[in-house]
Amino acid sequence: MAARSETSLQEKVEILESLGENFVDKVKNYLSAVKEAITAGTADIAEEIFQLAVEFLTQDLPRQACSATDSQARDNEGDVTKLRVGAADSKRIKDKIDGLKNELQALDSETKERIIDLSEVSKENSNAVKSLQKLLSFMRQNNQAAVAITPSPTAVSTPDISGPLEEVRQRSTFSATVATDPDIPEIQDVQLLPGGRILVSDGRHMRWKLFDIEGKHIHTLECRDTPKRLAVIESASDCHTAAVTLPDCRRIYILEVTADNIEVKETVRTAKQYEPVAAVNKLALAVGCNEDFYSTIDLIDLQGRFLRQIGSGMMLLYMDITKDSHLVLSDVLSNTIAIRHTNTGRVVFSNVGLLSL
């Protein structure tokens, strides 16, 4: 199937090459992007690029051709021959555009079915990704109780992991809804802090909530934008420092959390819309960005300055870091859990299908 798709796309490029250089490069880029997306199995991206290509070929390009013909007519009113040539060229271009549009719309049914199937798999595994990533974060808690998001967007569970990981038992469950919530909360992330406090990021109500280990609500702090992922930077007996990403406004908030209070200590502006985050040390954060269908894993300092790129190519949902400075990453589109070395960016472990657990 991949070979047929590649041949078909190459034929389309060859057709376009005869039309001149004004728009061939753009269409080549569309076709190349569709090809790469189908090969990588990224269904939503392939569908969106395909629609953009069709719009370009059926709307933008014909308008450009007509505009070029009108301009030629005005500039060469005395030259009837050139005007006729321009009209003939426009018709030839339009005919080839129509043919290319039909070819794009006639993608073989096997490819279409594959795209649809991949989309369904991605949707079905969305909740599984969140639950598994929280389980992986247990490993860095020094055998303390950790917190995981359950399939319900309103409930938080505190498992007992005093034994091996495969023997995790649910210790308690409580609702993340508080009295001031006008609607059901949308839990974006949860962090267990040493000392038995649980920090929750509620995206729907744009606030952070602090609970004790039994689920008693202690404090709420409002936010002007949607908070996403959390990472604990530093912990002491009575005060903790955490980072929270706000990709919509390109910011990271540094929070100071005590036993009974949450406070924004610092606002950090970032160049990209970072969402997944993990604290590498007290001075640096590993952050993930999925902008423009191209994902990167960057290392930045606590002032938001870019230090270097750790890796790229994954559609990241969550990330965490192990005690030996390895990043644990979840790729939602390829159904993969990967572990990268923070210093080299090298993938030291990758497993497809773990999300089905």
Q: What is the pLDDT of residues 204-238, one digit of tens each?
A: 999 999 999 888 999 999 999 999 999 999 998 78
Instruction: Locate 3 and state its tokens.
Output: 């070979």
- Confidence at residue 250, expressed as pLDDT on a 0 to 100 scale: 96
Check: pTM over 0.75? Answer yes or no.
no
User: Could you tell me which CATH class the domain 125-356 is placed in?
Assistant: mainly beta
Domain boundaries, given as residue ranges, for the chain: 2-122, 125-356
Instruction: Locate 32 and state its tokens.
Output: 């190349």
SS3 content of the chain, % helix, strand, coil (to 5): 40, 35, 30
State the number of CA atoms in the 13 A half-sphere of 100 facing the CB: 31
- Confidence at residue 202, expressed as pLDDT on a 0 to 100 scale: 95
CA distances from 14 to 11, 25, 212 (A): 5, 12, 65
Counting as low any pLDDT under 70, the low residues of the chain are 1-30, 33-34, 37-90, 93-94, 99-172, 292-293, 353-357
- Confidence at residue 140, expressed as pLDDT on a 0 to 100 scale: 43
Give 68-90 pLDDT, tens digit per residue: 555 554 555 555 555 565 566 66
User: Residue 230's closest CA among 218, 241, 242, 212?
Assistant: 242
- Confidence at residue 229, expressed as pLDDT on a 0 to 100 scale: 95
